[in-house]
Structure 1
């Protein structure tokens, strides 16, 4: 409020007080009407001042409401974008599985993971396909990157998959370059152990491990992983070799089941 407005307001109040005092002493009707006019003018002025002060706050309230609606719409658009991105990622995975299916004559069905084992050492998945889709015990499960595991339990509508990182998993394998055969075993962690490779065998980190098919469980030639650590002072005459699997079992969502 400007200084002029303040002075005018104080002047009006002072005049009102003086005239009210005068009226109480004289009882003059004219003074009463005059005071009413003064008070009405004072009220109008006060209302104008109050409105001028309140107006910015009303505008702020309206702006705040607009911002809330805008934020809500932005959140809705972000959720829609996330859904589209997830659909695009899933479509890419399914297309990769479809390409893998066309290259595999032993294809049975594609399956989706429904749930995961809760035991920290037990790496298993429940799949949405079972006997009615042709799934049977000991069938292999693969992904576009490599071996995922094997089926160990089947019902009419569901199947349980033992992942290759599980401590109960093992498979006959060979080194792709040297063709040396061995056994791969799960550890309950992210890595695998390659057993029965003699200490005199020349191997190096990065060497690729594939299934050999000699166990009559897994078809030959499926990529398993690559050698990530070598300790020639293993157990007895064999090296201690760690293998990093190609699959990331914690991110596994779909598999292809083959026989």
Structure 2
């Protein structure tokens, strides 16, 4: 029998015995009974105090156990909420890709596209390359364009059996034939290794404005025409040329799912 169990039995037993003894002695008028009662009083006080502490200790144990169970349940529910929110957001992103596939004019290109998830980034440079979870097994080959519903992401740079590396349009070595949608001015959009691209080879008289949408021209053969690249956010005029900063349509900091165009 454990210490607490023995104490649980012993203390009330002693208290009952003392109470019975005190009650018996109170019916006697003998002076010896008074002396004996005086002798027992401190013991009765100690035993009563011990019993009170034991009861409180048991109540605290019960309360602590209940609190721990409650904390576990709260943690479980919070985890479930996060899990459901992640599923909801993923479904929303996949739904946008599906709607894009159904409404775009590139039906033939998209009919044979492959959806993939971003599973890795370069730890020292998020603006260069990402890794996706599809590869040669799904028919993906080097050079294939990679897009989202928002616009151009980049192209397949390397392929493995189950994964591929995508070189982003933000990378310094990447470039896209660009077209100002409003004025039909042609140029080249190239990466700078930052969150912004730049559009170059624009003539000094080129009609470009801040906020203009830049789309792919199809020149160069790497990407289909009419895909979103981004918007003009600033313009710099030089002696013989103009250049402009372009904010990509794709939010690369939140890139999670992409489409690989296999037929282009």
Band of TM-score, shorter chain? 0.7 to 0.9
Cα deviation 1:180-227 (Å, max 9, x = unaligned): 000000111100000011222232111000000011110000001000
2:146 to 132, 141, 146: 141
Moved more, 206-215 or 195-204: 195-204
Quote the Cα distance in structure 2 between the aligned partners of 1:240 and 1:148.
21
Residue 240 of structure 1 pairs with residue 258 of structure 2: no
TM-score in terms of structure 1 length: 0.80
Distance apart, 1:97 and its partner CA = 1.6
What secondary structure, in the 3-state scheme, does the structure 1 residue paired with 2:78 have? helix
Contact 1:164 1:170 in 2 (8 A): yes
2:211 to 206, 215, 240: 206
Contact 2:127 2:195 in 1 (8 A): no
Contact 1:101 1:256 in 2 (8 A): no
Contact 1:199 1:239 in 2 (8 A): yes
Partner of 1:59: 59
Partner of 2:18: none
Q: Kindly tell me: are residues 179 and 111 of structure 1, through their superposed partners in 2, closer, same or farther at Cα, counting changes over 3 Å?
A: same
Partner of 2:123: 118
Distance apart, 1:62 and its partner CA = 3.1
Quote the Cα distance in structure 2 between the aligned partners of 1:226 and 1:115.
27
Quote the Cα distance in structure 2 between the aligned partners of 1:125 and 1:171.
18
Distance apart, 1:135 and its partner CA = 1.1
Moved more, 150-159 or 241-250: 150-159
Aligned residues: 227
TM-score in terms of structure 2 length: 0.78
Bigger Rg, which one: 1
Partner of 1:11: none
Root-mean-square deviation (CA, aligned residues, Å) is 2.2
Partner of 1:18: none
Partner of 2:25: none
Contact 2:171 2:192 in 1 (8 A): yes
What secondary structure, in the 3-state scheme, does the structure 1 residue paired with 2:44 have? helix
Quote the Cα distance in structure 1 between the aligned partners of 2:209 and 2:159.
39
Moved more, 201-210 or 178-187: 201-210
Quote the Cα distance in structure 2 between the aligned partners of 1:118 and 1:168.
18
Contact 1:121 1:166 in 2 (8 A): no
